[in-house]
Structure 1
Amino acid sequence: MKHAHSEVIEQLGLGILIIDAQFIVRYANPFIENNSKQKSLAGKSLFSLFPELPQVWLRKRVESVLMLDNTTYTNWHQRPRLFDFPSSRPITGSARLMYQSCSIFKLKSAEKDDLVCITVYDSTPTAVTQQRLQNSLKRLDKERNYQVELNRKLEETQSQLVQSEKLAGVGQLAAGVAHEINNPVCFIKSNVECLRDYIGKLQSLIKHYDDLLDASLTPELKVKRDQVRQSLDMEYVQEELPEILDETDDGITRIEGIVGSLKDFARLDSGQWQYADLNEGIQSTLKIVHHELKYKVREVEQDLGELPKVQCIPAQLNQVFLNLLVNAAQAIEKTGSIKVTSCHMPERASVVLTFTDTGCGIPASKLDKIFDPFFTTKAVGKGTGLGLSVSYGIIQSHGGTISVESEPGEGTCFRIELPVEQDNH
C-alpha cells in the first residue's frame, strides 16, 4: 500500500524533480512525467531529458544551493519557463507553452550524496491575467494619451521592485562575507605598519654598521664585505622594500573599499550623503585601477564635461566606477581602449556618465541578466557575478538609472544617469 504522502505528491498540480549533484534524475512525480510525455525518468541525465534547460544558469544555481544550503527561486517575470511543457490554459486559440515559477533547494536526505529538489509551479493563470491586463492598459493608453507617462513609470517601478527582490536575497550573504574579510585585513594592515617601522630601524642599523665597519676594516675585509652585499643584492633590496610596502598598502586600501561596498550592498541606506565632484571620483578611481588597466588598455580617453556637484555617497559611486572600469579591462582580450565621458543635463536636473570599451561585447541573450546577482559572463573562478548587481543597487539607491548597450566583438557601453539633488536627503 502506498503511503498517504506519496499519494498526495502524485496528485499535486505541482512538478517535483529530485536530482543529484551530477544532474541525474532520482525522482519525478506524475506532473513532470505527464507534461514531458516521458516515463521512467529516474536514472537519466536531466539535460538529456530536457535539452531546453539553460545548463550554465541551472548549474550555477544548483551549485549555489549545495554550497550555501539555501533556497533559490525564479518566477515567470524574469524567466518565463525552464521546461517546454504545454499549457493547459492557452492564452489564445492555439496551444502555448506553460509559464512557470520554480524553486530549487537542497534536500535533508539520509543518503550520503547530495540531493536537490526542483519544484515547477504552473503560473499560466497569473501570467494570462497580467498579460490581459497589460493589453487592456494599452488600449486605454490609446484613448487617454495623458496616461502614457504614468504607465511608463509604473512599469519602471515594477522592474525596480523585481531587481530589489533579487538583491535582497544576497544582502545577508554580502554582509557576512564583508565581515569575514574585514577581520584579517585589519591585522594585515597593522602588521604592514609594524613592518614599515621595523624595516626603517633595520636600515638605520645597517647604515650605522657600515659606518663603523668603514672606519675599522682593512681594505681586504672591505672588499669581502662589499662582495657579500653585492651577492645578496642589498642595494636593490633596500630600495625596493619601501615600494613593496607602498603597493601592499594600496592593495589593502582596495580591499577595504571592496569590503565597504559589500557592506553598502547589504545596507544601502548607510553612508554619508554629501555634494561631490564626480569627475574627481572618476579620475581618482582611474589612478587606483591603473595597474589593472595598463596591461591591456593602450588608452583611456577622458571626455569629462563641466558638472555641478552631485548629492551622493561618493565612496559608493567610486565603487561603481571601479567595477565598470575593471570589467571593461577584463573584456579586452588583447589590447584595446576605454572611453569615459560625463556631461550635465540641466533640462533633466541630472548628470550622465558613460563607460565604453572596445572589448569582446556581450551577447544579446545575456544583456537582460547581467545585473542579476551571481550572473557572470566570465569563466568559472574568474568572477563572482556580484560586481554589476552591487553597482545596480548603488545607482538605484541614488535615484538613478544604469543601462547597457553591447555588440559582440565590438564592445560595450554602460550609461549612468544620476539626479543632481536627492528628494529624500
Structure 2
Amino acid sequence: MNNHSLASLLDKLPLGICIVDRKYRILYINLRFIKELQLPAEIRLGASLLQLCQAQAPLLQQHLDNVAGRTGDTFPSDIHPPETFEFIPETDTTVPGVYAILHMEIVPLSINDGEVKTLCLLLDAGSSYTQAKQKMAQELAAEHEQQQQLLDKLETARGQLVQAEKMASIGQLAAGIAHEINNPIGFISSNLQSLQDYVGRLLSIIHDSESLLNEQQRQQLQQLMEQQQFGFIREDIKELLEESLDGVNRVATIVNSLKSFSHVDNSDWQYADLIDGMENTLKIIHNQLKYRIQLHKDYQEGLPLLYCQPMQLNQVFMNLLMNAAQAIEGDGDIWISIHTMPQDQGMEIRIKDNGCGIEPQNLHKIFEPFYTTKPVGSGTGLGLSLSYSIIQKQHGKISVNSKVGEGTEFVVRLPLQGERRLRQ
C-alpha cells in the first residue's frame, strides 16, 4: 500500500489522528482531526499544533511533554496507559455538529529514525470507540461491584457458619456436662433426702427413749448430751441437710438451664418462649450479676411464642447482658423488657443499663467485627457483630441508643412468623 492509499484510509477512520514531533510541529494530520477541532483546512505539515490551539496550548503542551518524556516501549501498556484528558475546541460550540468537549488520548510513537514522535488520537464523545470504551468501563465496574457483593455474602456466610459451628460445639459440650453432672446430682439428692429422713427418725428415737430411762439414767444422758452439744447438733443437722438439698437443687437448675440455653437437640427453627430463654440466660450468667447488679424485669403477660432459632437468640441475650454488666463499674441496674409491638408487628426486647455509655463517634462502629472499646485481652470485638448477624438471620433488626455517663439501651425487634401460638 503506497502513502497516498494509506493517507486516504486514515482520512476515512472515525477518529482524528495527528502526529507531532518534540517541537509540536505537525508531521501528519487527517481530515477528521481537522474537522473536529474546526482547524483551517489549508493546514500545512510543519505548522505548530500549539499555535493552532492557542487557548488550550498550555494544557496540550503539558500532556505532550509528559508523553514525549517517557522511555520504554513505543506504545503504552497497562503499566503506561495513554495520556487521557478532555479537550475543549476553540470554535463556537453552539454550531450544530460541533461537540462541546472532545476526548483526546496521546501516546508515544517512534518512526524509522528512532526519534520519539507523539501520536494524538482525538476521540469525540459520540464516537463508537469512546462509547465502547465507556461501556466496557461500566461493565467492568458493574462486574467488580458484583464480585464485591459476592465476597461480602461469602464473608457473611463464613461468619454465620463459624457462629453456627461454635454454638453447636457449645451445645454438645453443654449436653455432655449436663449428662455427666445429672447422674451424680441425682443420687446425691436421693441420698440426702434419705439421710434427712434417717436423721429425723434417729432424733425421734433418742427423744422417745428418754421415757424408758429412770431418773438417774436420764440425768446421766442429759449430762452426756450437754458435753457433746447435742442440742446444737440436733438443730444444726437439720439446717445442714436443708442447705445441702437446696444446693443440689440449685446445681440441677443450673444444669437444666445450661441445657435449655444450648438447645443442642433443637437448634433449628421452632416456636420458643422468649421469657424462658431470657430467664435461662440470666441463670447462666448469674455469677456475673450477683451482689452488684439489680435486675428490673418487665415481661408482658400472655406473650405469644416466637418462631425463631432460640439457641441463637439466647446467644444474643447473653452478649447484650454481659456487655451491660461490664459497662457498669461497681453497683448498677439493668432493665429487661419483652413486649409485643403494636398491631402484632413483632416482638421487642429491650436491654438497658446505667453504665458508662458509648461515645457518639463510636456508635456506628460497634457492630463491626473485631471492634471493641474494652482493654486488650478483655474482649474479641465479635459479640455484637455476631449478634447483629444472628438478628438479621432471624429477619429482625437491632439498634442502640447511648449517652456517655448515662447508659446504653439495645433494642431487638423480631417479626412474628408462622401461626400465632400462645404460651401455656
| TM-score, normalised by the number of residues in structure 2 | 0.50
Structure 2 equivalent of residue 312 of structure 1: 308
* 1:195 to partner: Cα distance: 0.3
Structure 1 equivalent of residue 203 of structure 2: 210
Does residue 179 of structure 1 match 2:172? Answer: yes
* 1:398 to partner: Cα distance: 1.9
Which deviates further from its counterpart, 360-369 or 187-196? 360-369
**Cα gap change, 1:357 to 1:239, in 2 (>3 Å):** same
> Which of 396, 402, 413 is 2:398 aligned to?
402
Q: Map 1:282-293 onto structure 2 (within 5 A).
A: 282=278, 292-293=288-289
**Cα gap change, 1:277 to 1:186, in 2 (>3 Å):** closer
RMSD: 4.7
> Which of 309, 312, 320 is 1:324 aligned to?
320
**Cα gap change, 1:177 to 1:200, in 2 (>3 Å):** same
Structure 2 equivalent of residue 165 of structure 1: 158
- Residues 130-171 of structure 1: CA distance to partner in whole angstroms, max 9, x if unpaired? 9x959x99xxxxxxxxxxxxxxxxx99986764332232354
Question: What percentage of aligned pairs have identical amino acids?
Answer: 31
CA distance in 1, matches of 2:342, 2:282: 26
* 1:422 to partner: Cα distance: 5.1
> Which of 284, 289, 296 is 2:292 aligned to?
296
Does residue 239 of structure 1 match 2:242? Answer: yes
* 1:346 to partner: Cα distance: 5.2
CA distance in 2, matches of 1:249, 1:320: 24
CA distance in 2, matches of 1:249, 1:209: 29
* 1:386 to partner: Cα distance: 6.2
**Cα gap change, 1:310 to 1:188, in 2 (>3 Å):** closer
Does residue 338 of structure 1 match 2:334? Answer: yes
CA distance in 2, matches of 1:327, 1:366: 14
Q: Map 1:78-227 onto structure 2 (within 5 A).
A: 133=141, 162-214=155-207, 215=209, 218-227=221-230
Larger of the two Rg values belongs to structure: 2
Report if aligned partners of 2:267, 2:309 keep a CA contact under 8 Å in 1: no
- The amino acid that maps onto 1:397 is K
Structure 2 equivalent of residue 18 of structure 1: none
- The amino acid that maps onto 1:333 is E
CA distance in 2, matches of 1:161, 1:319: 22
- The amino acid that maps onto 2:415 is P
CA distance in 1, matches of 2:364, 2:417: 30
CA distance in 1, matches of 2:275, 2:179: 30
* 1:201 to partner: Cα distance: 1.2
CA distance in 2, matches of 1:297, 1:233: 32
Q: How many residues align?
A: 273
Q: Where do 5+ consecutive residues of structure 1 fail to align? A: 1-87, 90-128, 138-154
Structure 1 equivalent of residue 365 of structure 2: 368
* 1:345 to partner: Cα distance: 4.4
**Cα gap change, 1:211 to 1:200, in 2 (>3 Å):** same
CA distance in 2, matches of 1:258, 1:283: 9
CA distance in 2, matches of 1:157, 1:277: 36
Report if aligned partners of 2:300, 2:338 keep a CA contact under 8 Å in 1: yes
Structure 1 equivalent of residue 110 of structure 2: none
> Which of 405, 410, 418 is 2:414 aligned to?
418
> Which of 270, 292, 295 is 1:273 aligned to?
270
* 1:312 to partner: Cα distance: 2.6
CA distance in 2, matches of 1:309, 1:326: 25
* 1:395 to partner: Cα distance: 2.3
* 1:417 to partner: Cα distance: 1.6
Q: Where do 5+ consecutive residues of structure 2 fail to align? A: 1-78, 81-136, 211-217, 420-424
CA distance in 2, matches of 1:381, 1:193: 39
**Cα gap change, 1:184 to 1:228, in 2 (>3 Å):** farther
CA distance in 2, matches of 1:287, 1:203: 28
CA distance in 2, matches of 1:288, 1:325: 11
Structure 1 equivalent of residue 46 of structure 2: none
* 1:400 to partner: Cα distance: 1.4
